[in-house]
Structure 1
């Protein structure tokens, strides 16, 4: 057996439903988002979970709690798993950002590794804090299943970091949607991607 990471993206929020940037904001899940969390439990509770690491934001906690309660594993909260800070773009639509911060937006799209939303974070900064949590898990555990509940961009960044994909292409190479599960096993030859952005456990999929 090897160390296997399951990366679960939190369920739907009002901002994700409306296509608004939501990084440092701290909304609750919508009822549909809570249903996503419950659907994950039904599909994955039979896995022998050893540890559950969770972003300290409310939407991630609400997504992780049903599984943690069902399997009796205490959640480990980590700020390093929080979503990218989108600065002045927070709670704004993509169209608004393009209309009001076009140059900033185009620079970010071209290379989010080194370009940030105005007053926000770069992918490099997100990788620094989130991969510190992954390193912590890898140091503590060897042959277990570890659940990591986080956010769209942060999961994109962590997957790219694990798989050796340029962070400047994290938005182009990895698609993560609300309620999706990605699976990476740390084997003899390094990280192996076994599942990406899977939402087959959701009833609507």
Structure 2
């Protein structure tokens, strides 16, 4: 049996609905977001879990909590799983950013791996900090299932790192709607993507709430 990591993006927030940039802003889940967390718990509670890791932000902790409580398992919070820091763009829409920081926005859109939002983080910075968490998991859990609850950009960057995709293309190559589950098995030949952005665990009315 090999190690399998389940990457879960947090449930719905007001920012995921509006499309505004939300990195270090500590938003709570919407009412529907809490239902998404509960749906994940009900669908996956019978798997034999070895550990639960999460970003320390409220929206990820709230998403991990139903499963953790059901299992009686602690949530291991890691700063390396935080969302990208958007700097001066926090709380703004793409339209506002384009108007106020046009040149930097264009550079970021072209290559977010090596260009940062104004005052924020480059994709490669997120790859470095999140890789330390993945290394910790691999060292401590050689087999079994581990849950990692994180954020849209951070999970996409971790997947790029694991699968050999250019970090600068993370926004162009991987779609990751709220409350989606992505599964990677760590085989003798390296990371193997088994499931990408699955939302089949959500009740039907929640599946239609795509957001960004």
Q: TM-score, normalised by structure 2?
A: 0.95
Secondary structure of residue in 1 paired with 2:127: helix
Distance 1:176 1:50 in 2: 24
The equivalent residue for 2:124 is: 124
The equivalent residue for 1:17 is: 17
Equivalent residues of 1:81, 1:133 under 8 A apart: yes
Report how far residue 146 of structure 1 moved: 0.4
Report how far residue 192 of structure 1 moved: 0.3
The equivalent residue for 1:134 is: 134
Q: Which runs of 4+ in 1 moved over 4 A?
A: none
Secondary structure of residue in 1 paired with 2:156: helix
Report how far residue 73 of structure 1 moved: 1.5
Q: Which runs of 5+ in 1 are unaligned?
A: none
Deviations 1:93-121 (A, max 9, x none): 11111121121111111111100000000
Distance 1:198 1:141 in 2: 24
Equivalent residues of 1:50, 1:73 under 8 A apart: no
Distance 2:108 2:197 in 1: 23
Report how far residue 59 of structure 1 moved: 0.4
Q: Does 1:186 align with 2:186?
A: yes
Alignment of structure 1 residues 1-12 onto 2, 5 Å: 1-12=1-12
Q: Give the number of equivalent residue pairs.
A: 205
Root-mean-square deviation (CA, aligned residues, Å) is: 0.7
Equivalent residues of 1:8, 1:181 under 8 A apart: yes
Equivalent residues of 1:87, 1:117 under 8 A apart: yes
Distance 1:33 1:39 in 2: 10
Deviations 1:62-99 (A, max 9, x none): 00000011112111010110000001110011111112
Distance 2:60 2:143 in 1: 25
The equivalent residue for 1:75 is: 75
Distance 1:19 1:13 in 2: 10
